[in-house]
Amino acid sequence: MIGVLALQGAFQRHVYCLEKLNIPTKLVKTREDLKACHALVLPGGESTAHQKLISPGLWADLKEFSHSRPVMGTCCGLILLAKKVKDDDMPTLGALDILVARNAYGPQVESFEAEVEGVCSGKPSLIKGCFIRAPQILEVGPSVNILATYDSKPVLVEAGKILACTFHPELLYDLTVHRHFVEMVNRNNLAQSGRFH
């Protein structure tokens, strides 16, 4: 079961994408919900709003979860996962060794759609993405593998059990990134118990 944090932002489309891949999902609003999940998606939205809506208990559980289980973050989700946010002392989960700048392409009117070239599921991929008040990854640590770039900047990265992108693949119904994540989850579950679902 893959959970989708459902407190704010674009969570519903992630459910759609995962269901298209025949993966059971659960909307996560509470600590109890999270307990039922093998993996989690942190959706796009507003990182400051998320921080207000996530209770201290759920935040502690998310921190532990993101350091031990597969987590995929899109846009705001990537910011929440980052180790450091530029010029901002907002608390983060710190599970992904990157320095990220929020709203790095400018205000809402500068949001755009693009095709991103990268490697997903081990093969060259062209991924459709929406960059909505998107962040930019400014630095990556040695553990981080860059899977796709746009305008010479990393936009999709992987490190251990974490997968994160600065854009929204789900809003354009592109399943490439979700498929890659499901493979990561399957590998992790196989390593742990030999079964998924």
Q: Which of 38, 50, 168, 178 is catalytic?
A: 168
| Contact assessment for residue 18 and residue 48, using Cβ atoms and an 8 Å cutoff | no
Nearest to 167 by CA among 30, 72, 62: 72
- Tell me the three-class secondary structure of the chain, residue by residue: CEEEECCCCCCHHHHHHHHHCCCCEEEECCHHHHHCCCEEEECCCCHHHHHHHCCHHHHHHHHHHHCCCCEEEECHHHHHHEEEECCCCCCCCCCEEEEEECCCCCCHHHCEEEEEEEEECCEEEEEEEEECCCCEEEEECCCCEEEEEECCEEEEEEECCEEEECCECHHHCCCHHHHHHHHHHHHHHHHHCCCCC
- The pairing of strands 162-165 and 123-131 is unpaired
Residue with smaller CB distance to ligand GLN, 12 or 103:
103
Q: Is 75 a catalytic residue?
A: yes
Size of the site for ligand GLN (CB under 6 A): 11
Rule CB under 6 A: say whether 46 interacts with ligand GLN. yes
Residue with smaller CB distance to ligand GLN, 38 or 43:
43
Rule CB under 6 A: say whether 132 interacts with ligand GLN. yes
Candidate residues 17, 79, 82, 95; the one interacting with ligand GLN per rule CB under 6 A: 79
Q: Is 170 a catalytic residue?
A: yes
Rule CB under 6 A: say whether 14 interacts with ligand GLN. no
Largest CA distance in the chain: 47
Binding window for ligand GLN (CB under 6 A); candidates: 61-69, 71-79, 90-98, 120-128:
71-79
Binding window for ligand GLN (CB under 6 A); candidates: 15-23, 55-63, 74-82, 117-125:
74-82
Rule CB under 6 A: say whether 30 interacts with ligand GLN. no
Residue with smaller CB distance to ligand GLN, 168 or 180:
168
Amino acid at 83: K
Candidate residues 3, 44, 129, 154; the one interacting with ligand GLN per rule CB under 6 A: 44
Rule CB under 6 A: say whether 40 interacts with ligand GLN. no
Candidate residues 76, 82, 177, 185; the one interacting with ligand GLN per rule CB under 6 A: 76
Active site residues: 75, 168, 170
The residues of the shown chain that bind ligand GLN, judged by CB under 6 A, are: 44-47, 75-76, 79, 102-103, 132-133
